[in-house]
Amino acid sequence: MDAQGRGRADNIDPADQWVLNPNTGEYELRLTPSVPQSSSTVPGPRRAAAGRSGAAHGGAARGGTAAPPRETPGREVPPQRRRRGAPEEPPPGRRGRRPVKKKSKTKKVLVWTGGTMAFVLVAVGTAGYLYLKHLNDNITSVADDGASTGGFSKDKAINILLIGTDKRTGDGNEGYGDSGSVGHADTTILLHVSKDRSNATALSIPRDLIVDVPDCPTTQDDGSTKVIPGDTGVRFNTSLGQDGRTPSCTMRTVTELTGITPDNFMVADFNAVKTLTTAVGGVEVCLEKDIDDADSHLKLSAGTHTIQGEQALAFVRTRHSVGFGGDLSRIEIQQQFLSSLMRKLKSNDTLTSPSKMLKLAEAGTKALTVDSQLDSIGKLKDLGLELGKLNTKNLTFTTVPVVDNPAETVKSTVVLASTAQQVFDMIKNDVSFTEVKQKEKKEKAAVAARLKGTKSAASEVRVRILNGGAPAGSAQEELTWLQTEAGVTKSENAGNASAEVSRTTLEYDPDQADQARRLADILGLSGSAMKPGKSVTNSQGLPAMTLTLGKDYKGAGVKLNSSSGTTPEGVQKSTADKVECAK
């Protein structure tokens, strides 16, 4: 269609003949100069003008007489539709001018403000998208090689493996770590967050712990998979870097060691400590004595200091000037540092500062390498929201219980202590090392009512043992141990229970409370595992208690209080809400 067919010619773009009516919000046809107009007359709506296009275009536009509307034979031309809310048209011959509605100043302000805000929102939305894309581009991820659970879940407990490597990456790190090293699992923490998000445990794994590294299927640079052979009786830190091992191999080693399969892993290098502490404006640490460590380059006087950057890295690497001067002492100082960092991250000073939050997002996405299940800012955000629900007073830092390696004359490595399995079981069973108030109150009431009081001699305890979910043969195994090791000679194997139970229980008559307290002490039963009820008759026709071994049974002689919320004796622990000074 040419210009004249749409409106008028004279080198005018037909699109320019349609103007926006600010009162109606619709586009309307600008009338030609041949039609008399008044500055106070508002053109009619676009739809109404279209109905009169034959006259406007075919007659007046060319200076001729307006032609009547074209009719289709046999069809009645429908009347023009009136815009909803518009006043009725005057009858023919009485057509007058439509008055202009005066727009109020308030409406003008709203229109301009609305338009400006829309523009700002579009601009911010675009910038926000670009920034998120930038953060996504910052993220480095490597394959989990099937070693994880497949990623954390919002409705389950969360286990994240945090790995600090001593590889010399980044500017200014030439003086740290081993020259030419591919890196080791230098600092490793298994972070467990409870299902209800009420508590968490950060379990440090000593780098010099003797472990078995399993065979590790590992994704190669070309996408193929190579199985890297495992090793037995080697340092834990060799689970990363050595022989081409990736973080997924460290993850498999942790599962082999603890029985816990991590959901995800994060790897941090030297730069992570420097950039994260700088992003939050420094972390406060406390020293009981002066430190001058030539190896870590840390020189600080006793007292409280706010450290960041290079100084923060030197702090977490120091060991010769604290504690016993070994790696276990360094673990403690690292836990104190992380507690302080957690407090800073949760403080209003950080959470209410947009600049700090942006710096954190930038530093975190650049400094960390994550597994392939955490390879986007959206997934990291979801994980952060789950971790953010935690109160720092219920975050416990602890270390795998270890003892010096008895096979060494010059002690340089450690092996698992007898209480290590209890620690692993507590985490596996989602039990808090920090006594959450509600659980503590309930447990104390049960203990006070059932465990306090006199205890019978072990030789006076009569008990029948049922297998209610433990591995086959457990009832006989426990019977043998009780009779030969614990002195409970009046015990007998009663076979399988009628149904499986998740927790081991001891049912007894109130008259047998003295016997029950003695057996509970021997087995490590909590007060809640003791069930006052009825006694049964043993094979000699005498009243006896019933011990039902549940799925939590770990073997003869292994204490069952790993699922009671009681921390094994001698296990080092601290909570993130308390300020502790390095000794």
Q: How far apart, in whole angstroms, are the C-alpha atoms of residue 274 and residue 169?
A: 12
- Whether residue 464 contacts residue 519, with contact meaning beta carbons closer than 8 Å, is answered with no
∠ at Cα 573 (570, 574), nearest 5°? 150
Count how many residues are written for the chain. Answer: 583
Alpha-carbon distance of 307 to 278, in angstroms, equals: 9
pLDDT of residue 428: 92
Is the per-residue pLDDT at 571 higher than 80? no
> What's the pLDDT score for residue 288?
84
Instruction: State the average pLDDT over residues 64-77.
Output: 47
Region 247-274 average pLDDT? 92
| φ and ψ at residue 298, rounded to 5 degrees | -100, 125
> How many Å apart are CA 367 and CA 387, to the nearest integer?
19
**CB contact burial 206-222 (16+ within 10 A = b; e otherwise):** bbbbbbebbebebbeee
Put simply, whether the predicted model's pTM sits higher than 0.75 gets the answer no
Q: What's the confidence (pLDDT) of residue 116?
A: 40
Give 583's pLDDT tier (boundaries 50, 70, 90): low
Q: What is the pLDDT of residue 414?
A: 93
pLDDT at residue number 100: 52
Per-residue tokens: 58? 């075919």
Q: What's the whole-number mean pLDDT along residues 28-34?
A: 48
Helix/strand/coil percent split, the chain, to 5: 35, 20, 45
For 452-470, the pLDDT digits (tens) are 889 999 999 999 999 999 9
Task: Tell me the mean pLDDT in the region 115-120.
Answer: 41
Beta bridge partners of 307: 283
Residue 130 has pLDDT above 90, yes or no: no
pLDDT > 60? residue 17 = no
Determine the average pLDDT of the residues in 60-85. 47
CA 524 to chain centre: 34
What pLDDT shows up at residue 322?
Answer: 64
* Residue-wise pLDDT tens digits, 524-556: 888 888 899 999 999 999 999 999 999 989 888
Quickly state the pLDDT bin for 8 (edges 50, 70, 90).
very low
* pLDDT attached to residue 3: 40
| Mean residue pLDDT across the chain | 77
Distances (CA, A) of 348 to 274, 298, 351: 22, 29, 5
Question: Between helices 354-367 and 270-279, what is the axis angle to 10°?
Answer: 170
DSSP 30: P
What's 92's DSSP letter?
Answer: T
